[in-house]
Structure 1
Amino acid sequence: MNYAGRYEGRAAIITGGASGLGRAVAERIVAEGGTVSIWDMNPGLEATCEALGAHGVRVDVSDADAVVAATAESVAALGKVDILICSAGITGATVPVQDFPIESWLQVVNVNLNGLFYCNRAVVPHLLANGYGRIVNVASVAGKEGNPNASAYSATKAGVIGFTKSLGKELAGKGVIANTLTPATFESPILAQLPQSQVDYMRSKIPMGRLGEVHESAAMICFMASEECSFTTASTFDTSGGRTTY
């Protein structure tokens, strides 16, 4: 489909945008006329930004002060920010709760939940100043249903859903819309963090019988981040092949 010009004049910050889903979204926003600042710790950040013509900031989203500094840098580079897409995340250990390393638990919470909060907290004032904004916080079907041996990931993604419902209601009527995406497992570099048995389990739970494709979730996010998404906020959009329908 041709959405040329859909993001004309719009500026987006995308966390985790150097690879996977974040990169696919960045590619589309740039292709559709927008400007993008990618936040990532990925070694390929500079190459991605050069390929897309995007601005880049190497930032650890679990560091609140670094997020504040990254926000100021991105706003200075882009002139403003209209869109925040938080797709940075990690899986953590794949073990039962009784064996779950405390260090891994804290790391997952710090990146997936605390880091997402820091990003939203830093960017929201700029969106309110514009009187316009779109926020997409990427969660997971694991946040709705829970995946065994993935307690930290499931807990943090459930937290993202609850956080975004609260935020969306706070911002309703102020020109800023906040929603969350709950994809099922899709082909992505993050799968390298998981044992094949866990990937096979998650595939088996999808009624369509396959993993998702990154472009399917990217297409949904690009709708959620656009002006077209104008009367849905504090809500959850699903790309799960029928696994979750609520």
Structure 2
Amino acid sequence: MIAPQRFAGTTAMITGGVQGIGRAVAERLRAESAEVVLVDRSEAVHEVAAELGAHGVVADLEEFSGATAAAERAVQLVGRIDVLINNVGGTIWAKPYEHYAEDEVRAEVQRSLFPTLWCCRAVLPHMLDRGSGTIVNVSSVATRGVNRVPYGAAKGGVNALTTSLAMEVAERGIRVVATATGGTEAPPRRIPRGPGPDGDRERGWFQQVVDQTTDSSLMKRYGTLAEQAGAIAFLASAEASYVTGTVLPVAGGDLG
């Protein structure tokens, strides 16, 4: 249920905001009165930001320089960052680990771990200066899943980052939490993550991921973007003020 004033007076920086969960969270926070800065490496971020009445920033968050520039620009635009939602990431390939090339392993980790590492590092000084702030990392239950070992390893790193950073900064006014998302139904991506399955063998590997994701869910279904956004919005809000260092599975009962 939308709480129209829940984020009144709150600023939020959301990464990967052009599509999928990132956009759904942005829509939810805007509906609940947050001032939002969307960050994405696609120029489409400006179009989406205009549609939502938000601000758009283009940055490559796989590099620390990009994360730092994005944080500084967000502060320029809205004055401060109360909430950081690290949403950038996602499986590029789906195949058994022995079929990954070295550069593919590096690309998966670069995509799904480093943007969160860098953005936490870039935004944290701003929050510590003010003695308050909330970081919500978007992880995955794919830490226990088939045909996505490098991605699962990257998201395991996000989980460790969440818990260890929370321990460091809790007494300094900062909360750090995460959701572990399960399979999520979403419209076709306007910007593909990767080349997609090529041939029957790769399509079979991808179907194994789909089947395992559904089988691992007690509800035997994929979630919705609204269900993911609702959990993230709760963790980002003052209603979760006594929650930190926690990774919340949002996967129909799959604990990852």
TM-score normalized by the length of structure 1: 0.93
CA distance, structure 1, for counterparts of residue 73 and residue 129 of structure 2: 17
User: Which residue pairs with 1:58 in the alignment?
Assistant: 58
Report the Cα offset of residue 243 of structure 1: 1.4
User: Which residue pairs with 1:6 in the alignment?
Assistant: 6
Map of 1:144-159 to 2, 5 A cutoff? 145=144, 147-159=145-157
CA distance, structure 2, for counterparts of residue 97 and residue 56 of structure 1: 37
Do the aligned partners of 1:184 and 1:211 also contact (CA within 8 Å) in 2? Answer: yes
The aligned amino acid for 1:244 is: L
Do the aligned partners of 1:92 and 1:105 also contact (CA within 8 Å) in 2? Answer: no
CA distance, structure 1, for counterparts of residue 247 and residue 67 of structure 2: 25
Aligned with 2:222 (options 211, 231, 242): 211
CA distance, structure 2, for counterparts of residue 46 and residue 200 of structure 1: 36
Report the Cα offset of residue 86 of structure 1: 0.4
Cα gap change, 1:199 to 1:191, in 2 (>3 Å): farther
CA distance, structure 1, for counterparts of residue 221 and residue 2 of structure 2: 27
The aligned amino acid for 1:19 is: Q
Do the aligned partners of 1:18 and 1:44 also contact (CA within 8 Å) in 2? Answer: yes
User: Which residue pairs with 1:92 in the alignment?
Assistant: 92
Gaps of 5+ in 1: none
User: Which residue pairs with 2:200 in the alignment?
Assistant: none
Aligned with 2:170 (options 169, 172, 180): 172
User: Which residue pairs with 1:25 in the alignment?
Assistant: 25
Runs of 4+ in 1 over 4 A off after TM superposition: 190-196
Matched, 1:131 2:112: no
Report the Cα offset of residue 107 of structure 1: 1.2
The aligned amino acid for 1:213 is: T
Aligned with 1:238 (options 241, 249, 256): 249
The aligned amino acid for 1:171 is: V
SS of the counterpart of 2:240? coil
CA distance, structure 2, for counterparts of residue 55 and residue 191 of structure 1: 23
The aligned amino acid for 1:138 is: V
The aligned amino acid for 1:80 is: R
Do the aligned partners of 1:82 and 1:134 also contact (CA within 8 Å) in 2? Answer: yes
CA distance, structure 2, for counterparts of residue 161 and residue 77 of structure 1: 30
Report the Cα offset of residue 214 of structure 1: 0.9
CA distance, structure 2, for counterparts of residue 201 and residue 229 of structure 1: 31
CA distance, structure 2, for counterparts of residue 208 and residue 187 of structure 1: 14
Do the aligned partners of 1:191 and 1:199 also contact (CA within 8 Å) in 2? Answer: no
CA distance, structure 1, for counterparts of residue 44 and residue 59 of structure 2: 13
Identity %: 35
CA distance, structure 2, for counterparts of residue 153 and residue 49 of structure 1: 28
Map of 1:113-132 to 2, 5 A cutoff? 113-132=113-132
Q: How many residues align?
A: 243
Matched, 1:109 2:109: yes
Report the Cα offset of residue 92 of structure 1: 2.4
User: Which residue pairs with 1:224 in the alignment?
Assistant: 235
Gaps of 5+ in 2: 198-202
Report the Cα offset of residue 43 of structure 1: 4.8
